[in-house]
Amino acid sequence: MGFIKKFLASAACIAVIAAMSVETYASAVNMTLIYDGQSHNYSAQSIDIEIDGEKITDMDVPPIILNDRTLVPARAVFEKMGAEIVWNEKTQEVYIMHKNDLLVIKIDSSEGIKNGTAFTMDMPAKIINDRTLIPLRAVSEALGCQVSWNSDSRLISISTSGKSNDDTNNNDSNDNNTSDDTNNNTNNNNQNSDNNSGSSDNTSQNSIFNVTGVDVPSSIDDEQIFTIHADSEIGTYNSFILSNNRLVVDINNAKMNVKNADVKDTNSSVVSAVRFGQLTSAPYVTRAVFDLKSIPKYEVNLSSDKKSITVEFDTTILKVSDLSTSSSGGTDTIKVYGNGKLSASYYTLSNPPRAVIEISNAVSSLDSTYSVTKCDFITGIRTSQYDATTVQIVAELNKNVNVELDNKDDYLAVNITKSSLENLSYDTSSHTITIENASKIDTSDITINDNYLSGSYVINFNDDYQDILGKGNITCSDNYINSINVSENSDGDSVITANENAIVASKIINSGDKVTIQFVNPKEVYDKIVVLDPGHGKADNGASGNGLYEKNVNLEIVKRVYALLEKDPNIKVYATRLDDSYPANASRAAMANQIADLFVSIHQNSSTNTTPNGTEVLYTEHVGETGENGKLTSKIAAQIALTWVINSLQTTNRGIKDRPDLIVLNQTKVPAILIETAFISNPDDAAKLGSDEYLDKVAHGIYTAISTMMSQYNVR
């Protein structure tokens, strides 16, 4: 066991007993559980746990019953037995070392490992409300303990000697469990088929088998057929299209046993990667995800021996053979001919103005250049084979235009007309609006309304420049901007609204007859940026107690800190939410990674016991956070925040704690902390959280902490 002890000593300890969405009334527990991508209402009578006759009284997360099995936080229970608990974030596994035994419990897997040998659990470990909960009976018995259940007192007794303390009832199932554990997976019908499910007529629905791998095309020129293999007959499966060009195949009653679960070498003009995962373990469902470059026609079928599923893409490579130009009634038209219906997209460039048309799944036999003499807007045409299956046509223009594609059966029509935004263009490569003939525009009057939470960036000129700017829309579709709308507001002022694909700031340059507005990452404009995160929201109330809901307290504190930071000229502030909404935790972390120098998440603690109280700050150190050269680290930020919050609220100091299991901490790449401000379940702490006076005090403390971090440490 020496190597195990060395590994455990070097690993970051798991902290799996932080606050969840809990509301207790006498012996009832009412909670909102979030797992498997859905919210579930949970209501059940509370359960007590004792080990060797000693009741556990300090659990700040109650036992949860799912599918008639009890799940508990690992540390709260098993450390009481003298076990050592470690969390492996990379593999999503809990390690439990007790005496000479090592258990490995993997999230969402019903198979545990004890000293290298697999054993089966009747309920997998789950991540619920961002906390890791494990099946009590299965793990206890794997450690050689005896588990019994007294239904009258609702007491689970664990004997570490292997002898039961109470043989009244040794079944930990519960008929009073009213948890809503329904996971409705709605399959979206794709454009190719009205029936996107399949089954084998003679295969038992309950027969468990392994998905073992996938075959890819041998070359990009071969038929684009992918074959998913199993070691036994496949029963039922479903296929559907998800957003962002993903084809999903869910295989029921299947364990994922694929050695290469992330296939990048696809030899495909359509599929960029194939990924496998164990979607659920109760029941077993293996998910295959095909990342698509575009969405062609496809078919998903079960093989004749029922041991494989084929996914075949129609990638007929068309030949683009000719093009012509014409002009009539103020419209220039490029007609592109091929041996089938062509699929195309376009974007525009400026300086000089150009329209770029890209035809997918095609090869070109066009000339490289075409002269144009009788068009109003097109001055020349260049073509190329952009890559093995993409034909690119570039129309050189004499001014900014509107572009419209009309896909006919026998040709593709590219219609180019005069833009009402004659002086305005957008360059996708530099994310820049250029306004020509702009000598009359006073850029000093421009004001910005950054509605980043709703995805719009509004530039108000505070004057009427319709004669210069015009009115209309531009399709951009780059990484920063989706589209641009030029209009006027109710005061008659000209307004440019950029609909965002990412949070942006802007650089505005007035060079006399030309004005440029470049959209950039906020870090190019602001030296210090903090993202505030009010935890929970919408259906996820968080913890509750003493008449308070955590989501509301979190939001009230963040709004106050936000207002203080907005007045600070040295720090730019953003927030993940400023209303009763619920951004996914991964999205909150992604927002911090995109724009922030510091991420501060605000939460409240809770316990099933009203005694625990005080403030603690959670963190986990990221790769490269060494503190060298005066750089801020998550641990330093946690200590500074703890000091100032305690000074503000006069609460008990519960210290800083390393929590590598929390998404908003382990998926962030910038210094990140989670402040557990106080215990909403403690009457004294809750009285402070319900007071405007104390909310103002804690907000000022958090603001001062952030200001201290930003002024005393380097953040870039």
**Residue 626 burial (CB < 10 Å; 0-12/13-18/19+)?**
exposed
Q: Please give the Cα distance from 162 to 669 (Å, whole number).
A: 46
**Residue 82 burial (CB < 10 Å; 0-12/13-18/19+)?**
exposed
Strands 432-435 and 447-451: unpaired
Q: Please give the Cα distance from 611 to 393 (Å, whole number).
A: 71
294 — pLDDT class (breaks 50, 70, 90): low
Which amino acid is residue 206, in one-letter code? N
Which amino acid is residue 165, in one-letter code? N
CA atoms within 13 A on the CB side of 712: 11
**Residue 440 burial (CB < 10 Å; 0-12/13-18/19+)?**
exposed
Among 167, 175, 268, residue whose Cα is nearest residue 222: 268
Is the pLDDT score of 80 beyond 70? yes
Is the pLDDT score of 42 beyond 90? no
- All residues at 6 or more sequence positions from 25 whose CB lies less than 8 Å from its CB, including other chains: none
Q: What is the reported pLDDT for 705? A: 97
Give me the mean pLDDT over the 638-654 stretch.
96
Among 345, 337, 395, 343, residue whose Cα is nearest residue 366: 337
Helices 692-712 & 550-566, crossing angle to 10 degrees?
50
Query: pTM for this structure?
Result: 0.57
Give me the mean pLDDT over the 614-628 stretch.
93
- All residues at 6 or more sequence positions from 673 whose CB lies less than 8 Å from its CB, including other chains: 599, 600, 601, 617, 618, 619, 634, 637, 638, 641, 665
Is the pLDDT score of 190 beyond 50? no
Helices 692-712 & 634-649, crossing angle to 10 degrees?
150
3-state secondary structure 559-597: HHHHHHHHCCCCCEEEECCCCCCCCCHHHHHHHHHHHCC
Alpha helices (H) along 409-549: 466-469
pLDDT digits (tens, 9 = 90+) for 489-507: 999 999 999 999 999 999 9
Among 114, 36, 118, 132, residue whose Cα is nearest residue 76: 132
CA atoms within 13 A on the CB side of 139: 32
Q: Please give the Cα distance from 278 to 288 (Å, whole number).
A: 9
Strand boundaries in 293-330, DSSP class E = 298-302, 308-313, 318-328
Least confident window among 473-477, 575-579, 680-684? 473-477
State whether residue 699 is helix, strand or coil: helix
Is the pLDDT score of 53 beyond 50? yes
Average pLDDT of the residues of the chain: 84
**Residue 537 burial (CB < 10 Å; 0-12/13-18/19+)?**
buried
Asked if 147 and 41 count as a contact pair (C-beta separation under 8 A), the reply is no
Q: What are phi and psi for residue 54, nearest 5 degrees? A: -105, 120
State whether residue 456 is helix, strand or coil: strand
Nearest-Å Rg of the Cα atoms of the chain is 30
Q: Please give the Cα distance from 430 to 524 (Å, whole number).
A: 14
pLDDT digits (tens, 9 = 90+) for 195-251: 455 655 444 445 889 999 999 999 887 889 999 999 999 988 988 887 667 888 989
Q: What is the reported pLDDT for 197? A: 57
Asked if 541 and 21 count as a contact pair (C-beta separation under 8 A), the reply is yes
**Residue 330 burial (CB < 10 Å; 0-12/13-18/19+)?**
exposed
Q: What is the reported pLDDT for 100? A: 66
Asked if 553 and 685 count as a contact pair (C-beta separation under 8 A), the reply is no
Is the pLDDT score of 572 beyond 50? yes
- Reading the block at residue 89, the tokens are 């974030």
Give me the mean pLDDT over the 64-85 stretch.
82
Q: What are phi and psi for residue 76, nearest 5 degrees? A: -60, -35
Burial letters 691-715, b for 16+ CB under 10 A, else e:
eeebbebbbebbbbbbbebbeebeb
Strands 456-460 and 472-475: unpaired
Q: What is the reported pLDDT for 399? A: 83
Query: Is the peptide bond prior to 671 cis by the omega test (within 30 degrees of 0)?
Result: no
- Reading the block at residue 157, the tokens are 């007794």
Strands 48-51 and 155-159: parallel
Give me the mean pLDDT over the 670-697 stretch.
96
Q: What is the reported pLDDT for 95? A: 81
Q: Please give the Cα distance from 517 to 158 (Å, whole number).
A: 67
Which amino acid is residue 224, in one-letter code? Q
pLDDT digits (tens, 9 = 90+) for 434-459: 999 999 999 999 999 999 999 999 99
Q: What are phi and psi for residue 411, nearest 5 degrees? A: -165, 165
Is the pLDDT score of 110 beyond 50? yes
In Å, what is the CA distance from 330 to each residue of 313, 356, 407, 467? Answer: 40, 20, 20, 21
Is the pLDDT score of 324 beyond 80? yes
The helix or strand, by DSSP H or E, that contains position 712, with its residue range, turns out to be helix 692-712
Q: What is the reported pLDDT for 315? A: 75
- Reading the block at residue 53, the tokens are 């006759």
Is the pLDDT score of 387 beyond 80? yes
